[in-house]
Amino acid sequence: MSLIHSTAIVSDQAKIAENVRIGPYAVISGEVTIGEGTIVDHHASIGCEEGITIIGKNNRFLPSCVVGAVPQDLSYNNEKTKLIIGDDNTIREFATLNIGTVKDKGVTSIGNKNLLMAYSHIAHDCVIGSNNVIANSTQFAGHIHVSDHVVIAGGCLINQFTKVGRGAYITGDSSVNKDVPPFTIVQGKYAVMRACNKVGLERSGMAKSEVDNIYKAVRILIKGKNTLEDSIAKIKLECELTDNINYFIEFIESSERGLAF
């Protein structure tokens, strides 16, 4: 049985699973699906009349967040696009997440076990993986892809179409306009690679030998005065080609915006 406060407004089109709690003055609009165990706190807004919002299990939406609103895009024309959220996410106060646009795949997606802190903004067509921490007031433009186990500190600005690789760390008050390679720390306006995210890798439980292997690859990329092609060749020659190293190389080679150097 779901617990819906008497002052909440819930759309007739909404599908609310068992054990969902919806607090006072929350508003559920349009086609919204909410999975088991999810909590929608007071004054939260979920969904919109134009789009579709699909939410998994055991999520928490803190007061006054706005989730599933229409895109902040002048070309949007009331198309039936989507926001899809996985399981075990926490969306803090005043965070905003928009549905997608037909200019892309029509979907904004959030994976599992993410923490989106207060006043963070996830714009249309962003793809956010799992186990990420996005701190207060960080702003995502449209079409950004973030992998898994990424930490983005407070007050960061991320340009549209940017990609952030797995295990990266973006320091606070940074502006990012280029792709952030996996396992690196970037900082600045505009942000550039500063070091390997060695502490983050160690905290993830990765074996020391693999941390050292990745650390070596990142140093070759950052510290050397070689061309990008020469750096990749050196990484292939001097580092063990584990799955993580192959992913690191593939990310670099496939970058369309260029890297945060």
Dihedral in degrees, nearest 10, Cα atoms 236, 237, 240, 243: 10
User: How would you list the strands of the sheet with 52-55, edge to edge?
Assistant: 15-16, 31-34, 52-55, 82-85, 107-110, 127-128, 145-146, 163-164
CA angle 128, 129, 135 (to 5 degrees): 60
Identify the H or E element spanning 61.
strand 60-61
CA distance 241 to 230: 16
Catalytic residues: 124-125, 142
Which pair of tokens denotes residue 118? 């207060």
Q: What is the gyration radius of the CA atoms in the chain, in angstroms?
A: 20
> Is 217 in contact with 245 (CB distance < 8 Å)?
yes
- Tell me which residue of 95, 105, 100, 91 sits closest to 70, measured CA to CA: 100
CA distance 149 to 168: 7
Handedness of CA 86, 177, 62, 26 (dihedral sign): negative
